[in-house]
Amino acid sequence: MTVEDCYQLGYIVKPHGLKGEVQILLDVDYPDEYKTLESVFVQQGQQLVPFFITAISLNGDKAIVRFEDTDSLELAQSLKGCALYLPLSTLPEREEGDFYFHELVGLELIDVNTDDAVGMIENVFEAGPQTLLSVKHKTSKEVLIPLTDELIKEIDKENNQIHMFVPEGLVDVYLED
């Protein structure tokens, strides 16, 4: 299993107690969907290592987890900061029109106002309360575009494009020297 075949579920925040449990932060929209999780992949260096869950207690976007064969504070401490992954194939199905952020990466962003290609989406991330698209413009400059339902006209997966109403003048701000 590789990182490209997975999505990041969250990460291990710190050990919890003395018997090897860890506190994890779930970086997902619906944490309750993961309350019966049986296993995860833990990133250790460049590898994803499967860890089996023997107990999980969920509280909002945090959980206390006990992994099989992780039974000491020292072992739990060694996992601190490690990213947690699940295979893309395990993602819950979304309703028509809904999407996962990772599905936007690699799409060409088309500005509906001008019918021009702005560039390729390289990343989607949250900056405080706002979700942003990091778009590589044809000039190789990074352009940040806010991602809201109101700005999206269409996601055309067949042609690898997303058509959006890009706020007027926003791209020009990034292209100025």
Q: What are phi and psi of 63, to 5 degrees?
A: -145, 150
For the segment 62-121, what is each residue's pLDDT rounded down to a tens digit?
999 999 999 999 999 999 999 999 998 888 777 777 788 888 999 999 999 999 999 999
Domains of the chain: 3-90 (2.40.30.60), 101-175 (2.30.30.240)
Sign of CA dihedral 15, 20, 26, 27: positive
Strands 39-44 and 21-26: unpaired
Does residue 28 register a pLDDT over 90? no
Supply 157's token pair.
Answer: 């997966």
Q: How does residue 161 score in pLDDT terms, banded at 50, 70 and 90? A: very high
Rounded Cα distance between 133 and 138, Å, is 15
Rounded Cα distance between 93 and 113, Å, is 32
pLDDT score at 125:
85
What SS3 class is residue 171? helix
Order across the sheet with 152-156: list the strands: 142-146, 130-137, 116-127, 108-111, 161-164, 152-156
| Residue 109 · residue 135 · CB < 8 Å | yes
Q: Which of 138, 137, 164, 166 is nearest to 153 (CA)?
A: 164
Angle at 66 between CA 88 and CA 63, to 5 degrees: 65
